[in-house]
Amino acid sequence: MANKVVVRKPGEGDAFWVLGGLYEVKAASGETNGSVTVMHMTLPPGSGPPLHTHAGGEIAYVLEGTVRLQIGEESVEAGPDSFVYIPEGTLETFEPTSTARVLFVYLPGGLDEFFAEVGERAPSRELPPPSDSPPDVDRLVAAAGKYGVQMRPPA
């Protein structure tokens, strides 16, 4: 149902394990008439996506921990209470340098559907167990385009 008030208390809403992190949906695109997706991510050190661009803007607000963001040619270190706005079409990625909790806002919405497609439904609100196998980057790249994301896999 779109155009309604969305209230999420801790532990409510969909949650997925993606790239070794816990991605919790705070506001889904379908709940906001496609205007926004809000995700709360708990990220272990070293996790993060390949370089990519979005069809819309992105906001990152670091709640805990530290994250290194590569935004265009600039590298930014962001700690607690750091706010970053990334304009549409900007080549970027991020890598937590410690366990981090980050609120991401995607404008317009839709990336919750991407995370649902490429992730695994989280059976608990904690980081997934460590994996011995590398992430399936080809699967990420293949799915990303459907959601306005263009990924550049590592060479």
Write out pLDDT tens, residues 142-153: 999 999 999 987
- Are 149 and 92 spatial neighbours (Cβ–Cβ below 8 Å)? no
Residue 101 has pLDDT above 80, yes or no: yes
Mean pLDDT for the stretch of residues 117-130: 96
- Our CA angle for 64, 77, 153, nearest 5°, is 100
Rounded Cα distance, 43 and 128, in Å: 10
What's the pLDDT score for residue 132? 85
